[in-house]
Amino acid sequence: MSGHSHFKSIKRVKEAHDAQRGKVFSKIARMISVAAREGANPETNPKLRRVLEEAKTFNLPKSNIERAIERGTGELKGAKLEELTLEAYGPGGIAIIVEGITDNKNRTLSELRQVLQKYGGKLAEAGSVKWLFERKGAITINPNDQIPMTKKEELELKAIEGGAEDIYRHKTENILDVYTKPQDLDKVKKELEGQGLKIESATLDWVSREQIEISEKDRGNCQKLFEELDESEAVQDIYSNLKV
């Protein structure tokens, strides 16, 4: 399994400026509303349960969570939200998948197309990019957050014992990605927590089958592209096959 090249679209609130906080909360609320369509009870709705766990990480106020759930179940009226997945090519020919939630699909497509074109990218036809990725459960663990401190080798062993399908060590960050089959994500997360491990995040992600190297200039433009795409309220996550 190649390394996980995932631009974290929703940044931790503690790292965000006050001006960004409202945007972060809005993105999470949209995720909650969409997940709540499958049921308002997190015990029977794994998708909602994962989003609520993420909402707690960002300290999303309880009142915001309740309103978002009510919008999703139809108890509270609001703009109709729909999920969208876009496939694109970026600087240096990298493959990109953008996941989002919007109340106006045509407007969002137009906005994101303009951003891509600004950096030499373009939207791709459905299926022309996605085959380069696999849908995986992705559990992120930071060895420094474990009490007591745990070496990566020990974490890897625990992850394998907990049912991990694959593991990837980040070279530039002290982070461990634990991959699972999509249907096993919650089960493996529970197993790892049962071993006393602190989980940073547990999400369903697109993981590239292989990653590609590009020039430093293109890499810089990729970062600018990702950051500008993230400015869109509709964009939730950005994945690429850019070599990390």
Report the C-alpha gap between 166 and 108 in whole angstroms: 35
Under DSSP, the state recorded for 120 is: T
Q: Which CATH number is 6-73's, of 3.40.50.300, 1.10.10.200, 1.10.10.10, 3.30.420.60?
A: 1.10.10.200
Under DSSP, the state recorded for 222 is: H
Residue 6 is encoded by which pair of tokens? 């995932």
* 82-131+210-240 and 133-208 share one fold: yes
User: What is residue 15's predicted lDDT score, i.e. its pLDDT?
Assistant: 56
pLDDT digits (tens, 9 = 90+) for 87-126: 999 999 999 999 999 999 999 999 999 999 999 999 999 9
Q: Which pLDDT band holds residue 5 (cuts at 50, 70, 90)?
A: low
Residues of the chain with pLDDT > 90, as a percent, come to 68
Domain residue spans of the chain = 6-73, 82-131+210-240, 133-208
Instruction: Give the helix, strand, coil percentages of the chain, each rounded to 5.
Output: 45, 20, 35
Report the C-alpha gap between 100 and 83 in whole angstroms: 6
Report the C-alpha gap between 22 and 33 in whole angstroms: 16
User: What is residue 74's predicted lDDT score, i.e. its pLDDT?
Assistant: 92
SS3 82: strand
Would you say residue 45 has pLDDT above 60?
yes
Helix (H) or strand (E) holding 136: strand 133-141
pLDDT digits (tens, 9 = 90+) for 76-85: 888 889 999 9
Class of domain 133-208: alpha beta
Question: Can you tell me the mean pLDDT for 34-52?
Answer: 94
User: What is residue 18's predicted lDDT score, i.e. its pLDDT?
Assistant: 64
Please give the CATH number for the structural domain made up of 82-131+210-240: 3.30.70.980
Question: Can you tell me the mean pLDDT for 31-57?
Answer: 93
Q: Which residue has the tokens 């766990």?
A: 53
pLDDT digits (tens, 9 = 90+) for 18-42: 667 788 889 999 999 999 999 999 9
Would you say residue 155 has pLDDT above 80?
yes
User: What is residue 154's predicted lDDT score, i.e. its pLDDT?
Assistant: 86
Residue 42 is encoded by which pair of tokens? 């997190």
Would you say residue 12 has pLDDT above 50?
no
- pTM for the complete prediction? 0.89
Question: Can you tell me the mean pLDDT for 5-12?
Answer: 58
User: What is residue 95's predicted lDDT score, i.e. its pLDDT?
Assistant: 97
Q: What average pLDDT does the structure give for the chain?
A: 89
